[in-house]
Amino acid sequence: MRIKSILLILASTAWPVFAQDQQQDQPLSAIDWLTVQRIAPPLVMLPDQNPVAQSAAVPDIDVQPLDAPGISGVGLLPSSVTGLPPNLWRGSDEATIITTLDRLQTRRPSVPALTGLLHILMLAEADPPSSATGDALLHARVNLLHQHGLVAPAEALMERIGTLTPQLFDLAFDLALLTASDEALCALLGDMPNLTTDLPTRIWCATRSGDYPHAMTIYQTGVALGQLSDLDTELLLRFLDPEYSEDVAPMQPPVRPTPLQFRLFEAIGEALPTTPLPLPFAVVELSGDAGWRAQLQAAERLARVGAIDANQLLGVYTAQKPAASGGIWDRVAALQKLETALGSGNAAAISTALEQVWPQMRAAGLLVPFSHLFAAQLQDIPLGQRAQDIATTAGLLTDSYETVGQQLANNPNARLAFLGSLATGSPPGSIPADLPHASALAAAWTASPQAPAMLAGLPAENRLGEALLHAIQLFESGAAGDDADLTDALRALRAFGLEDTARRAALQLAILDMEGARR
């Protein structure tokens, strides 16, 4: 179920397909030696050689598939699913990749197509760099997913590892606290206490097993040795001693709590709102326990960055009827009005509802998930002109962008005609002067795709993953104003076989810029 939900999330963004050799008709696993019967050779004793076994006991044996990647290369999505080669990272320097991923934790791609590409790179099963040792790259990959709000996929990736190292345990425990699935890790810590030296974690897990005296002993030892922060000292005391907690004033909430501190505040009856907290905490609200408004706000935050799919967002939006107005309630009411109008089949009502909800979705940064939900239903309805332009624009933000684009070749709206050219991968006939980045976007399709010199040779060196990360960074530089970088990024994606991702990224940037200018 975890993997199924991950595929739904990724399918709502962009799915990259690496250009495979046209002669490669069989899947990567269909190679001759798999069908050859293998016979073990007979055991031969050399003359005068004594057996070396000291007993007849069966030894412990570690089993691993011959083609399994090292720990840093473990993934959820095999090459047969992503289309990316297994040697994605093999020739890269591990430290360079980790530095790039650390940078992308907070500087997320500006368009969903590249966010989806980045997430797929993090989930792809591939060989780690040849020089890699330990689990540093895996930690960086999981941490990026975590910081981007993909907590469930990150947790599922950790479950594929098998044996956790102390560094990975701490990260896995943070993820489990956000999904309230920490009981299993606490049990593991009970069997393997060397997995963490973090005293609050050990105290929390001791209480999970019902051993409050042991938890208090750890706490008192930590306080006596000065091994707890002032915040943890007070927070854990209130957690361990409810009577003390009742006699003191509420605590000042921290600006950036750890997942464990967040759960401790919840446990002492001072639950923290997640809206001002980093994105991963929004996952906690999806249960709806804190109320519909908190769930709506969390779903919007996560959908905005591709951490949940559009259907999950729709489920939250339509769970109830808004009982108030203003802000998020107006947005919910507008979307529910469109759903009602679509059910009625009244074209005039649909046009009016669409014209009202589109600006609401634009203001919330939710045009792409909204388009995935409704664009297909809107394409064949005789809408008013303004509503028709909105429906066409929405169609260009979906999987059917090329089909929609083919219908725009002679559209009198210069912007839509330009977007149609991008959708079909054709050089535009004219470039709208008032559309940001239009010239840079058009230039990416006016010549044969060729990556810039600094990236062109990387795939041949088994560094395709590194090249794609650089292309994402170039695109971000271009979106911020450097048109040459924007063109280079799109040409690189095309040269590396990701034509679909390049078109989606170009369309999304053009449309989001165009719509942003209307706010």
- Asked if residue 443 belongs to a domain, the reply is yes
Model confidence band, residue 171 (pLDDT cutoffs 50, 70, 90)? very high
Phi and psi torsions of 77, nearest 5° = -115, 110
The answer to whether position 282 is within a domain reads no
Structural domain for 450, as ranges: 328-516
Give domain status of residue 456, yes or no.
yes
CA-nearest of 121, 47, 126 to 87 is 126
pLDDT tens digits, one per residue of 38-53? 222 332 333 343 433 3
473 domain residue, yes or no: yes
Q: Are 43 and 53 in contact (CB under 8 A)?
A: no
Q: Are 119 and 10 in contact (CB under 8 A)?
A: yes
45: exposed, middle or buried (Cβ count in 10 Å: 0-12, 13-18, 19+): exposed
The reply to whether 102 falls in a domain is no
Residue 242 domain-assigned (yes or no): no
Residue 10 is predicted with a pLDDT of 59
For residue 154, how many C-alpha atoms fall within 13 Å in the half-sphere facing its CB?
29
The number of distinct structural domains making up the chain is 1
pLDDT at 289: 86
Tens of pLDDT, residues 222-265: 999 999 999 999 999 999 998 898 889 999 999 999 999 999 99
Report if residue 196 sits inside a domain. Answer: no
The answer to which of 28-37, 105-114, 415-424, 505-514 has the lowest mean pLDDT is 28-37
pLDDT tier, 6 (very low <50, low <70, confident <90, very high otherwise): low
Q: How confident is the model at residue 341 (pLDDT cuts 50, 70, 90)?
A: very high
Q: Count CA within 13 A, CB hemisphere, residue 513.
A: 20
Reply yes or no on whether the pLDDT at 11 is more than 80.
no
Question: Is 121 exposed, middle or buried (CB count within 10 Å of its CB: 0-12, 13-18, 19+)?
Answer: buried
- What separation in angstroms does the CA of 437 have from each of 119, 385, 511, 514? 25, 26, 11, 10
pLDDT of 129 above 60: yes
- Confirm whether 83 is domain-assigned: no
pLDDT in tens, 472-502: 999 999 999 999 999 999 999 999 999 999 9
Task: Provide the sign of the torsion angle of the four alpha carbons 196, 200, 202, 208, taken in this order.
Answer: negative
Instruction: Please check whether residue 508 is in contact with residue 113, taking contact to mean a CB–CB distance below 8 angstroms.
Output: yes
Full DSSP string of 407-438? TTTT-SSHHHHHHHHHHHT---SS--TTSTTH
